[in-house]
Amino acid sequence: MNAAETLRTALEAIRSRRLRSALTVLGILIGIAAVMLTVGLGQGAQQKVTEQIDSLGSNLLVVTPGSTTSTTGVRGGFGSASSLTSADAQLLADHTVAPDIAAVAPVSQGQQQLDAGTQNWTTSVIGTTPAWEQVRARTTQTGRFFSTQEQDAAARVAVIGATTASELFGARNPVGETVIVGSVPFTIIGELNTAGSTIGGDQDDELVIPATTYAAAFSTSGGATVSSIYVEAASQDTLSAAYQEASNALMTSHGQSATTADFTVSSQASLVQTATATTAILTALLAGIAAISLLVGGIGVMNIMLVSVTERVREIGLRKALGATPNAIQRQFLVEASVLGLIGGVLGVIVGVVFALILTPVIGIPVAISIPAALGALVVSLGIGVVAGVYPARRAARLAPIDALRSE
């Protein structure tokens, strides 16, 4: 019996037992679709986290203060100290000290109540320099960002985030409106483009004002200390060099060593690496759970083939009596099992792709559709069919013709 006849016979056998074959295919289908969706969700989550971290700014480094220790020995967490100053920001902005740093934006921030007419809202007020717009890769959708002249004059101007603007002004354009921050009036000169939420919270819920204005109105240190310093490397290739330059310059300035440094420098690369490692572990865990359904599907294929062998004993005996070799009998049952696995794999890939397209807008996280993963799923499903069909095929091939013909 040649390959074409073997395939035709296998398809006829599957078609004659439609319900049983459909249930077997369903097991493979669910397993393949589940694995594709879990892997796609994991890859989509990694992509989403990477995009969110990248949205913080291009080639970004963040310098944060160290921890404090009280007189009673109680240690605060990282960021609780007041070890960073505006002089540190000026030092890092000096190209003779750090040639691979393109821009520096010191930041002071705190929660303040905002009032606009009858509306009020509590949000994060950020005091910084005009370089913040470049370092954080932000733009304004209406109006403009404040200028160096306004920074030097401690002008009472502000740039508002989209969420804050919506809470205070609804759908109307906030540019030109007055907002009371604490008890200080500010004129809104621009609205930031939407940046979305990140690990640190909603980037659109903020009000940005000149650092000099913040120091005069809200800072207890008069602007001497800052909450953090954002540093932009000249390029992605020089990010590591900028990291070293920033660390060395601040350690020298503060009289600290690497083990006693009263500040921390973190980079996008480290954030992405940590987030990717976490999502990769979760993806592997979910894929492992989904793979159990593939195992169940493989057992289902083996069961249906064993039942098929039992039901077709007389057919097998007749084929052998007519000259079919054990290898031909074995090949026939292997092809049947492989076809069932392949059909389940193809349908599983289709279902996985359809659900990925449906889930992406529903859950707000992209479900990645990987061509290599789809091809791998087809290979796995075919492999499951082959492996699950080996034992039933060998059992059929070992049947003695006379015993098979005598069976009822």
Asked whether residue 177 falls in the same domain as residue 142, the answer is yes
Verify that 167 and 236 share a domain, yes or no: yes
Tokens found for residue 333: 């049952």
Last residue of a domain, one of 231, 261, 291: 261
Question: What pLDDT was estimated at residue 312?
Answer: 65
Residue 292 makes CB contacts below 8 A (sequence gap 6+) with none
Residues in the chain: 408
Interval 277-302 mean pLDDT: 71
Instruction: Read off the tokens for 178.
Output: 């007055």
* pLDDT of res. 79: 46
Q: What percent of the chain has pLDDT over 70?
A: 76
State the residue for tokens 């505006």.
Answer: 86
Question: Is residue 164's pLDDT more than 90?
Answer: yes
Assigned domain for 63 exists = no
Q: Burial code of 300-322, b = ≥16 C-beta within 10 A, e = fewer?
A: bbbbbbbebbeebbebbbebbee
Q: What is the pLDDT of residues 58-104, one digit of tens each?
A: 588 889 887 544 444 444 444 445 678 889 999 999 999 999 999 99
pLDDT band at 345 (very low <50, low <70, confident <90, very high): confident
Q: What does the pLDDT average to over 218-241?
A: 84
pLDDT value of residue 53: 59
| Among 41-45, 243-247, 340-344, the least confident range | 41-45
What is the pLDDT, as a whole number, of residue 399?
A: 63
**DSSP string over 146-163:** PPHHHHHTT--EEEE-HH
Per-residue pLDDT, 369: 79
Of the two residues 218 and 321, the one the predictor is more confident about is 218
User: Based on the domain organization, do 162 and 250 belong to the same domain?
Assistant: yes
**Is residue 205 one of the residues assigned to a domain?**
yes
Same domain, 251 and 292: no
Q: Is the pLDDT of residue 57 over 70?
A: no
Quick one: 18 and 95 in the same domain?
Answer: no
* Average pLDDT score over the chain: 80
For the chain, what percent of residues have pLDDT higher than 90? 28
Place of tokens 């492992």: 288
What element of type H or E holds 214? Answer: helix 211-217
Per-residue DSSP letter, 85: B
Q: Which residue has the higher pLDDT, 303 or 160?
A: 160
Domain span at residue 245 reads 84-261
Q: Are 139 and 90 contained in the same domain? A: yes
Is residue 333 scored above 80 in pLDDT?
no
What mean pLDDT comes out for the span 23-28? 80
User: Quick check: is 79 in a domain?
Assistant: no
Q: How many domains does the chain have?
A: 2
- Whole-number pLDDT of residue 268: 65
Shared domain check, 224 and 146: yes
185, pLDDT greater than 60: yes
Q: What is the pLDDT of residue 31?
A: 80
Q: Indicate whether 17 pLDDT > 90.
A: no
- The last residue of one of the domains, among 210, 226, 261, is 261
- State which of 261, 287, 309 marks the end of a domain: 261
Whether 131 and 236 map to the same domain: the answer is: yes
At 362-400, the pLDDT tens digits run 877 778 777 777 777 778 777 777 777 776 667 666 666
Spatial separation of the C-alpha atoms in residues 364 and 378, rounded to whole Å = 28
Instruction: Kindly report, residue by residue over 101-149, the tens digit of the pLDDT.
Output: 999 999 999 999 999 989 999 999 999 999 999 898 889 999 999 999 9
Task: Indicate if 243 and 363 belong to the same structural domain.
Answer: no
What average pLDDT does this structure show over 162-174?
A: 93
In a domain, 280, yes or no: yes
User: Residue 105 belongs to what H/E stretch?
Assistant: strand 101-116
Average pLDDT over every residue of 169-195 = 93
For residues 182-198, average pLDDT = 88
Rounded to whole angstroms, how far apart are CA atoms 164 and 179? 11
pLDDT at 77: 44
Q: Are residues 257 and 150 in the same domain?
A: yes
The answer to whether position 64 is within a domain reads no
The reply to whether 106 falls in a domain is: yes
278 and 254 in a common domain:
no
- What is the bridge-based pairing of β-strands 184-192 and 157-160? parallel
256 has a pLDDT exceeding 50: yes
3-state secondary structure of 388: helix
| Domain contains 246 | yes
> Looking at the predicted structure, is the pLDDT value of residue 352 above 60?
yes
The pLDDT, as a whole number, for residue 198 is: 60
C-alpha–C-alpha distance, residues 395 and 408, integer Å: 18
Q: pLDDT at position 76, please?
A: 46
Is 266 part of any domain? Answer: no
Residues 251, 324, single domain; the answer is no
